[in-house]
Structure 1
């Protein structure tokens, strides 16, 4: 039997060993505190959204073995809660608390500052921390001003920038194929910058911004009337997230009829989800002039966006990753809902979640810097180390990516949160999430089908209002090419008339038809035909449009005078010949043509004055718009007119001048034509018929062309058609009878130079007038005989005799 007696020495050793193990355990378990600073309301409610989530986040961080091993994260919180009567001093309160945090001897130094407060409060504190080179992470300010990195170099936020949503709005507009929108923005705070930035982005994407309006609380009605006048159907709205202004906006939209299946409203960053209760509360406070039913009716099927929270992610059945804390984001939200500080149904869950993630962002930045910041600095941190530590933490935050309670968290180069935006649609007064937009990838993912989104329009997105389209009214290519061919044929015919007259100059029928005048008429026809060719050129594509415009007008006016003026003078000569039985020759014909020269000089003088004082230019003229409801278009016809500022005056001047020519011809044609037909000599009867054609064409064509000035194809068709018909008729009436006579053998062909004949006869007439030379002296020359003609006898005989080198010509 063994009797066991304890050894005293063994007891001492055991006691010593136990003591060492206990001390070792204490050493291992000992940690160093790392402090963050916090500026936030510490009272629960709408103005205390960070305190509770921050405490929960630190608890989860400190119990996570992979986070800050050997260190405990703590926060020195400063209360910025203010009473209602102190609201004007909230910025001063925040600055005072920040000063106390940084200078209090009782408080340990903090590495970073976490802040929840208003936009103005955040801007002031961020500027101070930027000067101190301290990182500040905010949770409640979405002001675009805070994106100015030079001013706020160490500022970050987990709520995101309001202006960042503009990219989402542009992508949403492009997604539905809209190309025409209007902007309706609140006229204060960040919304001015948002409106300007969004308008620039839309225009860069070739999306037409038909109206960009900024409204104040007291003039929403007035601005809504302007919005209605713009005819826009897609309206992008930006105002405060609390929904107070939004309710009044839709109240006025209801009164102006800017709602229903033809209108799409997209309201950015709105936190209200139940507009029935929200509108009732505002109506009870007399904040709106519409009934709840009217507001909800106007909001039906409109869109709103907000930063996605865990509740919406769960609603959309999004398979989010496990959060960095090791908890599912929806589970984190459920834990929050169990806390007293989260029992406020009118507050978006996102505000609690971004506060939670802000603490995690700070902790992860420190955790990632442990191997770069010396242990001595971490354990004995002072504000003298702030510059060094801040630079390292700033680098970590810039590359930080993690999945938090509010979804994926990362920061842009401006320090703004890149997150997922929920796209919501209002059905029966309640906002329901129907899709998400990932800011990082710029992808849109829908959770519902298109026919559910566009129930009232058959599953198709409404048209973006009546899109303005400019339609150039140009001359029909078929008409232009047809007239080019016809004008070319007319020009060839006129050239044939000139050549035929020259080569058959000395024949009887040519001499009887006033050949110089016929050539002048043919040249006038050619100029008119060329003017028709030039008038058909496309003014939008021709680089010489101004020259073509002016050239066409000049050629038409001068060509008309040469052609019709010569015919008028010719008929006058015929009338005088038959009436007074006068004797005619080349000299008399040239004398008559001086009248045409005078008319040409008048034309040139007027044209030069016109060109120098008020030149013709190609003007772009917009006509009254035409609405195409089937395609949602407003077509604005555009004309390119060859005109000047004083075209009406110059047109009246030329119309008066040419009208007098036509009036004189009307009085002269009939008697001269009757005389010429009775005697059947020359082509005067054909000239009279040609003049009748011109007069009839002018009587019909000029009024019609004035009435269809806004129809370039019709106008060109009428003017060009009548003009070409007249020029062709004139040439044919002069040329065809001569060709028929030539074919019958009634003309003796000759190649005698017409210039020699004109010179000889002019010299003959000059000599006979000045010297009254005898027949003998002229016979000695062997070249030219005296011309003697008894007009009365020769007209009755209806012939011209040419014998033995002596000739007697009659010009009819």
Structure 2
């Protein structure tokens, strides 16, 4: 291949010499840099026949550079920046003088050439470089390119977001110079367009994609831009966590479902086809298929046929980027043609020298204003020397088939759709799932079931109360202190009401919840004190009567017992008043992680839980529980002391023992269970607390009243 190149170069020089002697045309030499050998030959060698074809068409066109002939002095750099610099210095040091530079094939080569060429006033037109660094005008003042820079597609991607109504996207990129800048530029432009950047993820070669994919899913990223070479690994991980289907849209910088044999991809081709179907790519339109005649007089399809013939005849592989090489050579020719009329006085193109910048400045100005129809689309350069043309929108179908669906024209800033964009479910995907904040309330059916149960046991308590009032003068009832019995029942009723207050959120709004929480403590504490205070005061009276040592009879009236119960109540009220005044309960809202609904991922629920809390609840509950514990111990003591009283109508010691045992057992089960259950298990907490309070109170009342 190198020998072919040397032969062609030699043959071209012979023709030049012959032409000059005949006085036909003045040659203008172009320093050409190609990668005809090396590891990238699969796509780089095809640029050379495209450049030769362009030269043939240019030199045959009498309207372009009349009196001149473009000649290409080509060298092979093997895609090595160092070799490219050596070749350039050889071109500069060896006659004839080269007026411009064509090439090269790789971005790194172009950077090396452009940084060097400016010191010799050589304007360069590159056909394939995409690195964003080459847009830095202060660093590369004489560099132009006919392939769009990687950052050029940012505008098309932002407009694509607007076209489909998306305002939220994530960016994922491989940590390479080729991708870092365009990814960063896209992120900045998303924010500048008042869009939301969900996350920006970076990965390196052979990095596991598990963490990246998980973050994308956790953040509910639906529109995802990807810049990188290792798409298959990321595809596979996204498939494994379920990020595929009509809800997700991937927009890739490059599309490859298979690349590099050493990549660890665990998904099958069938699975990869599922995740990639519907993927978008935004890239340059490399060959036009319309009927427009280009600057050479050919349509895009006519040019492509000629290119295939010359590549085949010369033995070079076809390149995907041949059209931009062809247009780059035409850009050089048209710029030189326009420069002829704008050169300084008494100067011609053949007067160009490496030391004089005046001709180079005119050539650069010509490129700045240049505009023509190329085989790769409209050719125009921006103020940074970048190509301004049309972006091609492509989409992946079934079995990795990729087809163009439209264009984005940078001049009109409009989309030109080849076909309507079809969506799997007929609807444009949303950029995020709807989020609903849902309060975790007690299940109403459960609460109303508890109301029915409590109503039944309250009816039983009222029956005991009615029976006790109606038959209070009967000897059996009268001797058991009916007034104290009424207090026991009243205490039980208060405790029942407190049990229902546990589910108060079914009945009251959040602002009133704090008051209901405090009322629960009041009702439960006072109900317990009234009930057990009355029961124990009766036992205290029996104890005092039967342990009285004097011969004088001892009479203890109910009023004395009322005083005991009232005294106990005063302690309760003092503690509860201090609690309410100093450290009242407040409603705190706890927010839990977002959850997908069972019927689909377009609706997410953020559960919130409102709970009553106070700063020193442990101290206040400790005081109340300790105080109640003392009452229970006192009751047990009195029951023990009166266990030998022979009057069954007076002796409640056995009932007290059962009652204390009952309270102890249910408290031992209920309190720890409700304390150690998770906050979100409020239904189970309600069931346990309600059952413990209801059964404990009901069994205590039945133990005391049923035998009577």
Q: Give the TM interval when normalised to the shorter protein.
A: 0.5 to 0.7
Instruction: Report the equivalent of 1:52.
Output: 49
Say if 2:381 is the partner of 1:411.
yes
Alpha-carbon distance in 2 for matches of 1:587, 1:406 = 108
Say if 2:143 is the partner of 1:143.
no
Offset of residue 404 of structure 1: 0.5
Instruction: Report the equivalent of 1:108.
Output: 97
Alpha-carbon distance in 1 for matches of 2:270, 2:114 = 40
Say if 2:144 is the partner of 1:156.
yes
Instruction: Report the equivalent of 2:489.
Output: none
Structure 2 residue runs of 5 or longer lacking an equivalent are 1-19, 449-482, 485-493, 546-553, 640-648, 650-662, 694-708
Instruction: Report the equivalent of 2:76.
Output: 80
Offset of residue 296 of structure 1: 7.3
Alpha-carbon distance in 1 for matches of 2:403, 2:621 = 69
Alpha-carbon distance in 1 for matches of 2:91, 2:241 = 55
Whether contact under 8 Å (2:368, 2:385) holds in the other structure is yes
Say if 2:32 is the partner of 1:38.
yes
For residues 723-762 of structure 1, what are the alpha-carbon distances to aligned partners after superposition, in whole Å with 9 as ceiling and x for unaligned?
Answer: 9xxxxxxxxxxxxxxxxxxxxxxxxxxxxxxxxxxxxxxx
Could you say if the C-alpha distance between residues 118 and 703 of structure 1 is closer, same or farther in structure 2, counting changes exceeding 3 Å?
same
1:513-528 equivalent positions in 2, closer than 5 A: none
Say if 2:396 is the partner of 1:425.
yes
Alpha-carbon distance in 2 for matches of 1:587, 1:267 = 88
Instruction: Report the equivalent of 2:209.
Output: 223
Offset of residue 353 of structure 1: 0.8
1:363-762 equivalent positions in 2, closer than 5 A: 363-368=333-338, 372-379=342-349, 380-386=351-357, 388-389=358-359, 393-417=363-387, 418-425=389-396, 427-428=398-399, 431-438=401-408, 440=410, 441=413, 443=415, 445-447=417-419, 450=422, 460=426, 469=435, 471-473=437-439, 475=441, 557=521, 561=525, 565=529, 595-600=568-573, 602=575, 617-622=588-593, 625-628=595-598, 630-633=599-602, 635-642=604-611, 653=622, 656-657=625-626, 660=629, 709-710=679-680
Say if 2:286 is the partner of 1:321.
no
Could you say if the C-alpha distance between residues 584 and 719 of structure 1 is closer, same or farther in structure 2, counting changes exceeding 3 Å?
same
For residues 413-435 of structure 1, what are the alpha-carbon distances to aligned partners after superposition, in whole Å with 9 as ceiling and x for unaligned?
Answer: 54332432241435556x44241
Whether contact under 8 Å (1:34, 1:71) holds in the other structure is no
Alpha-carbon distance in 1 for matches of 2:668, 2:32 = 93
Alpha-carbon distance in 2 for matches of 1:464, 1:344 = 50
Alpha-carbon distance in 1 for matches of 2:299, 2:437 = 58
Whether contact under 8 Å (1:408, 1:420) holds in the other structure is no
Instruction: Report the equivalent of 2:478.
Output: none
Structure 1 residue runs of 5 or longer lacking an equivalent are 1-25, 483-511, 514-522, 543-547, 671-677, 679-693, 724-812
1:1-80 equivalent positions in 2, closer than 5 A: 36-41=30-35, 46-64=43-61, 66-68=63-65, 72=68, 74-75=70-71, 77-80=73-76
Offset of residue 155 of structure 1: 3.0
Offset of residue 299 of structure 1: 3.8
Offset of residue 712 of structure 1: 7.0
Whether contact under 8 Å (2:174, 2:180) holds in the other structure is yes
Could you say if the C-alpha distance between residues 385 and 534 of structure 1 is closer, same or farther in structure 2, counting changes exceeding 3 Å?
farther
Offset of residue 406 of structure 1: 0.5
Offset of residue 93 of structure 1: 1.4
User: What is the aligned length?
Assistant: 598
Alpha-carbon distance in 2 for matches of 1:427, 1:529 = 60
Could you say if the C-alpha distance between residues 261 and 526 of structure 1 is closer, same or farther in structure 2, counting changes exceeding 3 Å?
closer
For residues 176-222 of structure 1, what are the alpha-carbon distances to aligned partners after superposition, in whole Å with 9 as ceiling and x for unaligned?
Answer: 7889987665443423445555566678644755x946252xx46x4
Offset of residue 533 of structure 1: 8.9
Alpha-carbon distance in 2 for matches of 1:72, 1:537 = 93
